[in-house]
Chains A and B, each alone.
Chain A
Amino acid sequence: MDLINSFRDKDKILALSQIIKQRSKKPLNIMEICGGHTHSIMKFGLPQLVGENINFIHGPGCPVCIMPRSRIDEAIAIASIDGVIFCTLADMLRVPGSKGSLAMLRADGADIRALYSPLDTITIAKENPDKKVVFFAIGFETTTPMSAVVVKQAVELNLQNLFIHMNHVTVPAPVRAIMSDKDVKIDAFLGPSHVSVITGSKIYEELANEFKTPIAVSGFEPLDLMDSILNLVNQHENGTHKVYNEYARVVSKDGNLKAKELIDRYFQPCDFEWRGLGVIKDSGLRLRDEFSYLDAKKYFNVEVGESKESKACICGEILRGKAKPYDCKVFGKVCNPQNPIGSCMVSGEGACAAYYKYSKRG
């Protein structure tokens, strides 16, 4: 069984395209929360398949993009310390801090490693007992349980040289923050795929009710997205605001309980400063007090000065759905994937990078 190509089938997608175009009668602003959806929508050219009335707005769901510069500066400060092996998932390497990026620091000789799996940090820590290994943990609920497993193993193996720099964040908080902004005009949401695998689809019910906005939890394949968009079109035309779980082949109502327990056992909510959205209460995660000895920020006690974002860059506006990449003066000119000014240009899933890669450049 091919669970990838079956969901890219041309005939089925074109049939849905036709239905969506005919049913979509009034303008519909859909925010896709997740950067993976932004990527799929652009890669498969879906805006060309859904008609003129539908406008996609790219949300805050790219963990690289929402990272404030101060946290990058902390990462760079820690990675600069002698004897540190700094481990992170790949995209993070190129995100510009106040002074350079992790990739530049690596070129200067710092030991910075791009991992495929967070679990690799355990192996690296075991193999390098005389070094301090730091895992730069980033991501939404999708990746949080994997970091929890790293903490679990570090605790169980009593590893003395492994530390975590926590940057995990949660989805509902920024959605609420965006919807509470009166200038934002969003009629419907595409709910993230893999976040929802962990959290379950029911976390969206409160949001859908509170803001009277339909939400479709969608898979990543074009067929998934077209089905979800059709549902949102139908709901928009009919004035309903239900949660539709299109991705029920992996997303249940309650999510992955084992993963959620792990998260809960090692982490607890904390305030987090989002790029473009500011500090949102309880929107991030930190280590529970009993495991705070693993906290890299505490252990290395790094203090970075106030970090300023570039003035020209409008990543903040873009992350709030108030502007499109084209609206930015530096987009595609000074700011491009080789020389990203803002974080939305760094990750393959940042709205700017996706526009730059797949779409016209203004």
Chain B
Amino acid sequence: MKKILLAHGGGGQEMNELINGLIFRIFDNEILAQGNDSAILNLSGKIAFSTDSFVVSPTKFPGGDIGKIAVCGTINDLAMVGAKPRYISCALIIEEGLGIDELKEILNSMKSTADEAGASIVCGDTKVVSKGSCDKIFINTSGIGEIIKESRVENLKSGAKILLSGDVGRHGAVILANRNELNLDLQSDCKPLNNVVEALLNASIAPLAMRDATRGGLSAVLNEWAKACGRDIKISEESIAVSDEVMGICEILGFEPYELANEGTFVLAIDPKDEIKALEILREFDSSANTIGEILDSNKGNVIIQNSYGASRFMEPPKGELLPRIC
């Protein structure tokens, strides 16, 4: 099998072949084909701009790969402020020795994910580093989107309902299972969220704020929000959908499902008058979407989770390396 060599990053013939013969061919669009030093874009109105780097190990997992995640990550960050994702950049840092076929697969999944979201990959960069300098492949993507209706953390206010677009913890659980040699029939939730966001906006529902619950999971989002608006957020544990398998991983390794990463699940703060309609739309995309709580008047900035027995505790943001609890 052909592999990436240091020569592929050297600026010469091999690099040219890699970029023109493989990357351009897969990402295939007019702006990229122009071959300028910068992509020249047509945009109007307010613009959202976001960037993110992806260092996922393993690079391939049930439900996706690093390519899909690299596009979803940026698409979703744009969608979360109420923007329609338009253009994406793709910077690759490749470890020498990566199979060309493996790279091809990653690029193809970037392309198909961008297509699904209605965005184009219009510029990029490729570097090859020596063995051991990175773990197979690191990808950075930046993205630009046109704002349809702005959602901002500043809009959070007491009384707002907190909705969750699906069940939590699947991406984190899939990755943890893989690293700990646990087998399960579970797929990462990795997917672009701009379509569901656009469906909400088209129905004239403007979420006060939205955030995808990536690293740090649901509890990171809620804790950031509670701090940002200086109010307490109360969550009902029963209302949060968690699959059996995610629960199983958590029981085995000693985690909370709310601390595990998601790659296609987001949290919304909604004006109470929009709650029912918003839920209806969310459920068209994922039947496990639910209202999970609300922002209170009290102003300590804590997230309080109440269990089905009526006992409550704080939902802490996850800390440190996710190490299995042994004791």
Contacts and interface: CB of A to CB of B under 8 A. Distances in A.
Q: Would A and B touch once assembled, by the CB under 8 A criterion?
A: yes
Interface string B220-245: 00000000000000000000000000
B315 to A, nearest CB: 9
A105 interface: no
Given A4-B251, A338-B320, A348-B254, A359 B313 contact: yes
Contact of B327 (A13, A91, A358): A91
Given A62-B327, A91-B323, A116-B181, A48 B312 contact: yes
A97 B325 CA distance: 20
Contact of B311 (A35, A49, A93, A336): A49
Contact of A116 (B247, B251, B319, B324): B324
Q: Is chain B's interface secondary structure helix, strand, loop, or mixed overall?
A: loop
Interface in A20-78: 35-36, 42-49, 62-64
B45 interface: no
A94 interface: yes
Nearest to B312: A45
Contacts of A358: 313-314, 316
B316 A63 contact: no
Given A90-B325, A90-B326, A116-B181, A48 B311 contact: yes
A145 interface: no
A116 B316 CA distance: 25
B132 interface: no
Contacts of B316: 356-358
Given A14-B309, A358-B314, A349 B181 contact: no
Nearest to B247: A4
- Interface size class on chain A is 35 or more
Contacts of B312: 45, 48
A10 B247 CA distance: 18
Interface string B196-208: 0000000000000
Contact of A337 (B181, B320, B327): B320
A178 to B, nearest CB: 19
A103 interface: yes
A4 B310 CA distance: 19
Interface in A77-107: 89-91, 93-94, 103
Name the residue in A10, A49, A348, A356 with the highest tally of chain B Cβ atoms < 10 Å from its Cβ. Answer: A348
Name the residue in A47, A347, A358 with the highest tally of chain B Cβ atoms < 10 Å from its Cβ. Answer: A358
Nearest to A88: B326
A90 B179 CA distance: 14
A4 B249 CA distance: 13
Contacts of B327: 35-36, 62-64, 89, 91, 139, 347-349
Interface in B145-167: none
B313 A45 contact: yes
A110 to B, nearest CB: 16
A174 interface: no
B321 interface: yes
Contacts of A93: 321, 323
Contacts of A357: 314, 316
Nearest to A337: B319
A167 interface: no
Given A89-B326, A114-B324, A45 B181 contact: no
5 contacts: A10-B309, A13-B309, A64-B327, A94-B323, A359-B314
Nearest 7 CB-CB pairs, A to B? A45-B311, A90-B323, A89-B326, A48-B311, A358-B313, A348-B325, A10-B308
Given A42-B313, A49-B309, A49-B310, 18 more contacts: A4-B247, A4-B251, A10-B309, A13-B309, A35-B327, A48-B312, A49-B311, A103-B321, A139-B327, A336-B319, A337-B319, A337-B320, A338-B319, A338-B320, A347-B327, A357-B314, A357-B316, A358-B313
